Structure 1
Amino acid sequence: MARLFAPLEQRSLTLRNRLVVAPMCQYSAVDGVPNDWHLVHLGSRAVGGAGAIIAEATAVSAQGRISPSDTGLWNDGQAEAWSRIVRFVACQGTVPGIQLAHAGRKASVAPPWLGGIAVTPQDGGWTPVAPSGVAFSETSPLPRALHESELKNVVDDFACAAWRAKAAGFQLAEIHAAHGYLLHQFLSPLSNHRNDEYGGSFENRIRLLLEVIDAVRKVWPERLPLWLRLSATDWAEGGWDIEQSVELARIVKSRGIDLIDVSSGGLMHGAKIPLSPGYQVPFASRIRNEAGIATGAVGLITKPEHAETIVENGEADVVLFARELLRDPYFPRRAAKELSGELHAPEQYLRAW
């Protein structure tokens, strides 16, 4: 059997294969509530055969949304709406996952197809918060630096969102500390200019993330895996880098993180990133081998053979797909055919197989 289609066991959970749908924001919710678009979008990829689906970056508070159209998990109504989607995904044999996120200084902007411009409070936006009062770009909203006393609220928001995710039936949770959002902003000295116990040294800059992990792990069932998405490098001098990522991975492994979903960038506007198929795989490989923790590889991976090689060579334990699964929800079934992998079709589709 192709390694890409070998089951993956994490705690009490088994993914039927190593193909995972990466979290992709749809910017289609109202008041944080997912709707029929999310059901069909995520449901079609479950029918498509993915081992797990991680729903889009879902805000732990209204202030933590990227845009006013983001999904959320800060109230019970949102959790109830998610539960319908979760039930359908799980019934297809796919593990339903959720990414818990806070946008920080990258909040209160319009969806990408509307230019991603700042949304003012008068137009339904809000003042973003961040480790320090430094904007993401010249056209981004100027954030307000969080007071140290407010950080407990951030931690509590993540824990409460994780509790609601459990209530909604999600079986996999991922904490978002990548792509320049709030937890990543605390990690990087380029965005974290604080002089209290949450800024300065490596130990201080990772403090908020560790507090979030500990709080989430307390409410997230011990039998279910908890993943962490990390930007392995800022692609900028003096920023967060792969060496710090490896050291962080060693620490979070002992605190209940089961897999590092390895991405990169997103913190610095205009950073030069050497894009090519699988350009982030070496980061996943280093973290896996040097920190001794499972990893996921992502980034312009579009060919089944490429994904198979990544897993076969021990560079990562799962491969996450984003744009390729927007283009083709049934990519896992195509990959199974090309690689002679085992992936059963739904009964309703058997006539085509």
Structure 2
Amino acid sequence: MKFGINLFPTVGPADKPAGEYFDEALRLAELADELGFHHVKTVEHYFHEYGGYSPDPVTFLAAAAARTSRVRLVTGAVLPAFTHPVKLAGKLAMLDNIAKGRLDVGFGRAFLPDEFTAFQVPLDESRARFDEGVEAIRRLWAEEDVRWDGTFHQFGPVTLLPRTWQRPHPRILVATAKTPASAEAAGRNGYGVMLVPSINPREAVQQTLELYRDAAAEVGFKPTEEDVHMSYGAYLAEDGEEAREQGRLANERANRSLASAVSAWRETRSADYPGYEKIVEKAGRGDFGKSVAERKALVGSPEQVRAAIEDIRGWYGDFTISLQVVSGNTTFEEAARTIRLFAEHVLPHYATND
């Protein structure tokens, strides 16, 4: 098992200025590096308190790279539908060099209608743009004199500079929140996956992992624990009851930000996102106690959280966990306490984390 932190902001100007958030997040990245965590991850979203303070994860991770030396840097995820592949490939290659090969690149389709509207990209082109964008970027990283004649972009022949530090390219991870077919395709392509257990039943996560691993086996790809990422809301305190109470408040705050961000699905439908209108009904109405009991959030004393991880490990095998330590507008002190307690009392039990 490997463990990192996911700096997923659910915060806006009414809560704290952006500069203050970034300063605190970078201090948490330094702390994760100091304490031996595997990675620091952040997201790409726009406009809403739900992720909107992170419209460009590459910028943040470049700053984190300059202030750390060991921890890996993960985009969780960048959105190729909204950026020309030459531009995105170049930005990520530059980051891989700044970080001296510590970059893992997670790609996502995006799912918020407001973002597609702003970028003037039809929701029904989401899947096709994602597939084309990821493949174009992979080729730009791995090959020279690349000529691309796609549906949405045409270019070449071009040779990307800088070349990526890691050859042939950084690890690729594919976000598969609600679509098992995405995980299956990732396995066939030799990519990793990023799953969201908080919004899916345990059985659905297990089935998705089975599809992924079977597809990988068919092409001779053997995923490691670093090829499977899952994010969990995390709140630790010495006293388990305090952790659950304060974690509940942070969770409720994060759920409100999600509910606002997905509200456009009330009037939106897309063949690329079947059933997504149901997100509106569920967002903001989660049962926090049930979520903790079902091991969809890591909340409690260090001993309680370690017990939860052992259950999760039994269900899914060894994989990489991202601890969401700032979601819900927790203070810097609360997030740092979670990281320190986890490092002191949980990390030592997992010798593979390095």
For structure 2, the residue ranges without an aligned partner over 5 or more in a row are 117-121, 144-162, 218-222, 233-295, 299-304, 327-333
2:339 to 329, 333, 345: 329
Instruction: Label 1:155 to 1:342 Cα distance change in 2 as closer, same or farther (>3 A).
Output: closer
Amino acid at match of 1:295: V
Residue in structure 2 matched with residue 22 of structure 1 by the alignment: 6
Amino acid at match of 2:54: D
Count of matched residue positions in the alignment of Structure 1 and Structure 2: 238
Residue in structure 1 matched with residue 88 of structure 2 by the alignment: 158
| Mapping of residues 310-329 of structure 1, within 5 Å | 310-311=312-313, 315-323=317-325, 326=335, 328-329=338-339
* 1:263 and 2:192 aligned: no
| Mapping of residues 52-91 of structure 1, within 5 Å | 52-54=39-41, 56-57=42-43, 69-70=53-54, 72=56, 78=59, 83=62, 85-90=64-69
3-state DSSP of counterpart to 2:68: helix
3-state DSSP of counterpart to 2:194: strand
1:245 to 162, 176, 182: 182
Higher helix share: 2
Amino acid at match of 2:320: V
Structure 2 CA distance, aligned partners of 1:251 and 1:69? Answer: 34
| Mapping of residues 1-353 of structure 1, within 5 Å | 4=1, 18-25=2-9, 35-54=22-41, 56-57=42-43, 69-70=53-54, 72=56, 78=59, 83=62, 85-90=64-69, 93-99=70-76, 101-102=78-79, 154-169=84-99, 171-178=102-109, 180=111, 192-194=123-125, 206-217=131-142, 219-223=163-167, 225-233=170-178, 241-242=179-180, 244-253=181-190, 257=191, 259-263=192-196, 273=199, 280=205, 282-292=207-217, 293=223, 294-299=227-232, 300-302=296-298, 303-311=305-313, 315-323=317-325, 326=335, 328-330=338-340, 331-336=342-347, 339=349, 341=351
Deviations 1:272-297 (A, max 9, x none): x4578x97455335423443433223
Instruction: Label 1:68 to 1:317 Cα distance change in 2 as closer, same or farther (>3 A).
Output: closer
3-state DSSP of counterpart to 2:321: strand
Greater relative contact order (CA < 8 Å, ≥ 6 in sequence):
2
Structure 2 CA distance, aligned partners of 1:99 and 1:71? Answer: 12
Structure 2 CA distance, aligned partners of 1:33 and 1:343? Answer: 30
Instruction: Label 1:178 to 1:33 Cα distance change in 2 as closer, same or farther (>3 A).
Output: farther
> Aligned-pair distance for 1:162?
0.5
Structure 1 CA distance, aligned partners of 2:29 and 2:317? Answer: 27
Amino acid at match of 1:94: V
Amino acid at match of 1:332: A
> Is the CA contact 2:7–2:25 (under 8 Å) kept in the aligned structure 1?
no
Instruction: Label 1:274 to 1:250 Cα distance change in 2 as closer, same or farther (>3 A).
Output: closer
Q: Which moved more, 1:328-337 or 1:283-292?
A: 283-292
> Is the CA contact 2:231–2:323 (under 8 Å) kept in the aligned structure 1?
yes
Structure 2 CA distance, aligned partners of 1:251 and 1:155? Answer: 22
Instruction: Label 1:280 to 1:321 Cα distance change in 2 as closer, same or farther (>3 A).
Output: farther
